[in-house]
Amino acid sequence: MDKVLIVVENGFEDVELLYPYYRFKEAGFEVDVVGPKAGETYEGKHGVPIKSTAAPEDIDLDEYKAVIVPGGWAPDRMRIRPGLVKLVKDAFDRGLVVAAICHGPQLLIEADVVRGRRLTCYRAVATDVKNAGGEYVDEAVVVDGNLVTSRFPPDLPIWCRETLKLLGK
């Protein structure tokens, strides 16, 4: 079975984690949730809890096809977690699909994977993207190689559809 990762920290935007979690399961993927610590429960901005199935050091990226980065306040917290930053950087460098929405590009910036790439995000992060060498565009979804980005929850359907298309589903 094909597998994808969703990275998590407290303060994730609930719908930006849950929507892709179930959408990817529906498409036949096994979905693992990776937080700073394995077996820890993380809480979304609106109170939805989710338990991590693994920590970054437990992950063998050879087993995965994609890394999903939900938004909310979590990316700001994730970018100070070296294990999560390294996981995203390594996944990107290996050519895995990396899909981020809303504030998710904050983690991508820390992983230094936006330089020279075209992407979108929540408008409050646009200047950060530009300062990190990315080309910000205000579009519902942007696909640049193995990178798929969107702006906010209303973009979830097209973001998931384009990510799944890149994964051959």
Here the CATH number for the domain that contains residue 130 is: 3.40.50.880
Which residues make beta-bridge pairs with 17? none
Instruction: Answer yes or no: are the C-beta atoms of 114 and 75 closer than 8 Å.
Output: no
Flag whether the pTM goes above 0.95.
yes
The predicted pLDDT at position 106 comes to: 98
**Which amino acids are annotated catalytic?**
103
Instruction: Answer yes or no: are the C-beta atoms of 95 and 146 closer than 8 Å.
Output: yes
- Domain with 143 in it: 3-166
The predicted pLDDT at position 20 comes to: 98
Q: Which residues contact 127 (CB under 8 A, 6 or more apart)?
A: none
The predicted pLDDT at position 37 comes to: 97
Determine the 3-state secondary structure of 43 from DSSP: strand
Query: What's the pLDDT tens digit per position in 42-67?
Result: 999 999 999 999 999 999 999 999 99
The predicted pLDDT at position 1 comes to: 74
**Residue stretches of the chain with pLDDT short of 50:** none
Domain count, the chain: 1
